[in-house]
Chain A
Amino acid sequence: MALEPARFKQNARDALKDQILRKNFRGAMDFLRKKRSAMFPDPEYFATLSSYGESVKQQALSQLPDLLLQLEKNCQNNGIQVWWAENADEANQHVLRIIHENSGHKVVKGKSMVSEETGLNDFLQQHDIECIETDMGEYIVQQSGEHPSHIIMPAIHKNVQQIASLFEQIIPGATYTEDVDTLIRMARDEMRQHFYTADIGITGVNFAVASTGTLCLVENEGNGRMSTTIPKIHIAMMGIEKVVAELADIPYLLELLTKSATGQAISTYFNMISSPRKEGEIDGPEQVHLILVDNGRSQAYADEELRQTLQCIRCGACMNHCPVYTRIGGHAYGTVYPGPIGKIISPHLLGLESTQDLPTASSLCGACEEVCPVKIPIPKLLQRLRVESNKASGQAQIMRGQGSSRTRTEALIWQIWSYCCIHPRLYHLLSKMAAMFGFIMPLLKSPWKINRAMPKPAKEDFMSQYKRKKS
């Protein structure tokens, strides 16, 4: 299934009609919101913690190149090899090269959104490298030939019946069962042999600590630890914005992440990797590679306001609270990252010209901003992206694809509108005419009328009434 953000409107329309999808998502989002809310009963505590988290991320971003250099140096001192990739293709090429140099034949993957971003699985498949997703949710979507629909719970769009049918088809010897414990056991047993035989493990990175050269991974299942322990090569792929300065920053960011994402005080495993297998150790990978991926992040970085997009710690709370995401699900966006964060990051990764619907697909309700653990001002950034989308040509180049949504019609409408608004006599004359001819409004064609009656202007507008009563 190809990802096509240009098909957003059609995808949304289709998703809105899908009653099963709507029910699945509504139930899942309600569940996740309750769990998060239970972990932050005190709004003042959340306010303090999230302000602190915001400042930690902003401080790190304000010295990003220095931190990346420090991370590189300390990783290298620890024996971790560091590679840089400007775009998706370069990142994939690094992975392939490392695999080939080590005669690798099979990859097990811990969850990595960056690897989704680069299309790594398809790329490796094209190069005849077997690549198995091992996170339960990722495994389910991979086997279904789909993409994840949520950044934390990739198979959230599926109900147990759908998964039971899937496992019956794909797992040798499996019978149909809706018992979740049994389904998990089946997948676990199936996956063991892959962990055993794989020679390459690929994961993402939740936080990278510059001062110690440490890669931190958050998980509940243990497949991340498996992928970073059993195979002889571990490759970690990371967006450049994920680096933090000090170990001391970690406990606060970790708490914000796990509480916001799944309503847990901490994940089952928090894995801090500082080197490959050392002399005298009897397990662990012989090589650890870190691939630092840009892929459009430096564009967001260059603008002070848009840079806030990079504060994201990928918790998913924004999409859990989004009334749009709840109704259309993750696939409709046609981007790797869905929901509010998807709308503000994808234009940098893919260009505004390819993601034109995303900045407008929001009523700017602010539910996301209210829960963002690092206080990203998402509605403001969406409004800013609308500014960039509609920019006239000849203005400062901030974003790839800027101005791509601008139409002469809309520009003219706002010109006329503003002219009227700053000329009160004209405005009130038009207002009187609208009152007189208001009966026409319900006759006009408009997308408003899908399921709403058109409002009719009052027979006498307020200003006329007021002036009349005063005299």
Chain B
Amino acid sequence: MTSARQNILARLQAVKTGMLKQLSPKPAAKQIDSALEVFSRCLEQNHAEVLQVDQRNLPATLEQLLQKKAIQSLITTEEFAYLTSVKQLEVVSATKAKALNKDDLFYQVDAGLTLAKFGIAETGSLVLWLDQHQPRSISLVPPIHICVLCADNLYPTFAEFISSMNMYCSGVLPTNVVLVSGPSKTADIQQTLAYGAHGPKQLIVLIVNPESDLTTAFGS
């Protein structure tokens, strides 16, 4: 117990603040029709690229995207390990290593590919759930961030997401949760917008329409 702590608490506790102030009415919960459309539109307005893809087309789409963006070195997690088979692409694993190689991350890698666990439609936000399966820096340091989100995991608003959050973490949040709503930007120079301040200059979001087992079983 340091004396600063005791002194501050004593000063605050000495104040009679009376009854706990009641909360005023919340604004009505926002109605988001066509969440997917709102989500995509917000991201595009914030300068992100958005692609919708069926689950079975995801690997091919990713490969095309990597080619289109001339990405030769990619850092990613286990879910995308299959990309090692892509020609002329170096895949750096972000989870196999014990620690991240800073040189690779800062100076070698062209793009980071991650999964977003959830999305929030109202603000066009990807929810990165960062723990031992998803490192923090691969969506941050490389100049391009490619992010895959399953369309089923889209929440209408941040408030609704938070009220469901306990389902995923029983009151203990992961190390880091980051809402990403576009590529990095700043307007600090004469209020003129510029992208790629410190985080990625490009954000590409792939929204995956999951296919039910039924559909793939019977073909389309």
CA distance A27 to B194 in the complex (A): 18
**Does B140 lie within 8 Å of A31, measured CB to CB?**
no
Q: Is the C-beta of B151 less than 8 angstroms from some C-beta in chain A? A: no
Minimum distance in angstroms from A223 CB to a CB of chain B: 4
Q: Report the contact-size class of chain B (Cβ under 8 Å from the partner).
A: 35 or more
Check A137 against B135 for contact (C-beta < 8 Å): no
Q: Would A302 and B8 count as touching, CB distance under 8 A?
A: no
B167 — which chain A residues lie within 8 A by C-beta?
Answer: none
Q: How many A-B residue pairs have CB under 8 A?
A: 251
Residues of A within 8 A of B183 (CB): 268
Q: B176 on the interface (CB 8 Å rule)? A: yes
Are the CB atoms of B196 and A185 closer together than 8 Å?
yes
Scan A253-280; emit 1 where CB is below 8 A from any B CB, else 0: 0110000001001111111111111111
Which residue of chain B has the shortest Cβ distance to A266 in the bound complex?
B123
Contact present for A160 and B135 (CB under 8 Å)? no
The residue from A52, A63, A184, A250 contacting B186, defined by CB atoms under 8 A apart: A184
Asked whether, in the complex, the Cβ of A31 is within 8 Å of the Cβ of B191, the reply is yes
Known A-B contacts A251-B157, A270-B178, A281-B132; A52 and B198 likewise in contact (beta carbons under 8 Å): no
Cβ-neighbour of B194 out of A184, A248, A270 (below 8 A): A184
Contact A65 B13 (CB under 8 A): yes
Cβ contact within 8 Å between A281 and B191: no
Q: CA of A311 to CA of B76 in the docked complex: distance in angstroms?
A: 42
CA A184 – CA B183 in complex, angstroms? Answer: 14
| Contact between A45 and B27, CB atoms less than 8 A apart | yes
The reply to whether the CB of B5 lies closer than 8 angstroms to some CB of chain A is yes
| Residues on the A chain within 8 Å of B86, using CB | none
Contact assessment for A188 and B189 in the assembled complex, using a CB-CB cutoff below 8 Å: no
Instruction: Name B163-220 residues within 8 Å CB distance of A.
Output: 163, 165, 171-192, 194-200
Question: Does residue A464 face the partner (Cβ distance < 8 Å to B)?
Answer: no
Residue-wise interface mask of A (292-325) relative to B, using a CB-CB cutoff of 8 A (1 in contact, 0 not): 1010001001101000000000000000000000
Instruction: Give how many A residues have a beta carbon under 8 Å from the other chain's beta carbons.
Output: 96
Q: Mark B80-107, 1 if CB is under 8 A from A, else 0.
A: 0000000000000011011110100010
User: From A140, which residue of chain B is reached at the shortest CB distance?
Assistant: B188
A437-B13 Cα distance, complex, nearest whole Å: 59
How far apart are the CA atoms of A191 and B184 in the complex, in Å?
A: 14
From B24, B157, B159, A54 is in contact (CB under 8 Å) with: B24
What residues of chain A lie closer than 8 Å to B24, measured between beta carbons?
48, 51-52, 54-55
**Contact: B163 with A184, CB < 8 Å?**
no
Is A283 on the interface with B (CB-CB < 8 A)? Answer: yes
B148 shortest CB reach to chain A, Å: 19
Are B181's CB and A229's CB within 8 A? Answer: no
Q: Is B184's CB under 8 angstroms from A28's CB?
A: no
A284: interface (CB < 8 Å): yes
Q: Are A155 and B198 in contact (CB under 8 A)?
A: no
A13 at the interface (CB under 8 A from B): no
Query: Cβ of B137 < 8 Å from any Cβ of A?
Result: yes
Q: Which residue of chain A lies nearest to B16 when distances are taken between CB atoms in the complex? A: A304
Name the one of B20, B27, B141 contacting A52, with C-beta atoms under 8 angstroms: B27
Query: Which of the candidate stretches A214-222, A345-353, A385-393, A421-429 sits at the interface with the other chain?
Result: A214-222
Chain B positions 9-53 with a Cβ under 8 Å from a chain A Cβ: 9, 11-15, 17-27, 42, 46
Whether A271 pairs with B189 at a CB distance below 8 angstroms is no
Which of B4, B46, B132, B162 is in CB contact (< 8 Å) with A268?
A: B46
Known contacts A281-B135, A282-B94, A298-B8; is-contact A270 B179 (Cβ 8 Å): yes
A40 vs B36: C-alpha distance when bound (angstroms): 24
CB-CB < 8 A to A85: which residues of B? 4
Docked complex Cα distance between A63 and B16 (Å)? 10
Bound-state CA distance A258–B191 (Å) is: 16
Smallest CB-CB separation from B131: which chain A residue?
A281
What residues make up the interface of A, taking CB atoms closer than 8 Å to B?
A: 27-28, 31-32, 45, 48-49, 51-52, 54-56, 58-59, 61-65, 68-69, 78, 83-86, 90, 134-137, 140, 153-156, 158-160, 163, 180-181, 183-185, 187-188, 191-192, 195-196, 212, 214, 220-223, 225-226, 229-230, 240, 247-248, 250-252, 254-255, 262, 265-284, 292, 294, 298, 301-302, 304
Task: Return 25 A-B CB contacts under 8 Å, by A number.
Answer: A52-B23, A58-B21, A61-B17, A63-B20, A65-B12, A69-B9, A86-B8, A136-B188, A136-B197, A181-B194, A181-B195, A184-B197, A221-B198, A222-B200, A225-B136, A254-B158, A262-B187, A265-B122, A268-B184, A270-B179, A272-B173, A281-B131, A284-B136, A301-B11, A302-B15
- Given contacts A48-B24, A184-B189, list 19 more A-B pairs with CB under 8 A: A45-B27, A48-B27, A62-B19, A136-B186, A137-B186, A160-B189, A220-B184, A220-B186, A225-B199, A229-B140, A250-B158, A269-B181, A269-B199, A270-B179, A272-B176, A274-B176, A275-B175, A281-B131, A284-B175
- Sorted nearest first, the 8 A-B pairs with minimum C-beta distance are A222-B199, A221-B197, A280-B132, A137-B188, A251-B158, A222-B198, A84-B5, A266-B123
